Amino acid sequence: GENVEQHPSTLSVQEGDSAVIKCTYSDSASNYFPWYKQELGKGPQLIIDIRSNVGEKKDQRIAVTLNKTAKHFSLHITETQPEDSAVYFCAANFNTDKLIFGTGTRLQVFP
């Protein structure tokens, strides 16, 4: 079936620490894996994505890793800041016509 599991559901870290969010997907044919950040009162916004032809991608303090064999991918945020506090969603594509989203991780960064 079409399924994306995401863990943890909540994550609290101290400012400056790293945060890691993990997702697994069910369809071995999936080849596009975006991550979205949703702040209060706003729609989700893409922060980074990765395609199946690479294993890792980095953009400043944010990185994503992909393990196609194990069908899991992870978001890494280093040197966290209070403005990183938000809900983060992973997603994977299915059947070339849609994205299925994970259940979300509420990240809180304490100063």
Partner 1 sequence: ETGVTQTPRHLVMGMTNKKSLKCEQHLGHNAMYWYKQSAKKPLELMFVYNFKEQTENNSVPSRFSPECPNSSHLFLHLHTLQPEDSALYLCASSQDPASDEQFFGPGTRLTVL
Q: Given the rule CB under 8 A, which residues bind partner 1?
A: 31-32, 34, 36, 41-46, 49, 51, 87, 89, 91, 93-101, 103-104
- CB of 85 vs partner 1, minimal distance in Å: 17
CB atoms within 10 A of CB 56: 12
- CB of 32 vs partner 1, minimal distance in Å: 5
d(CA 13, CA 82): 10
Considering the complex, state which of residue 91 and residue 109 has its C-beta at the smaller distance from partner 1.
Answer: 91
Considering the complex, state which of residue 31 and residue 78 has its C-beta at the smaller distance from partner 1.
Answer: 31
d(CA 85, CA 81): 8
Nearest by Cα to 107 from 47, 5, 20: 20
Considering the complex, state which of residue 104 and residue 107 has its C-beta at the smaller distance from partner 1.
Answer: 104
List 21's β-bridge partners, or say none: 75
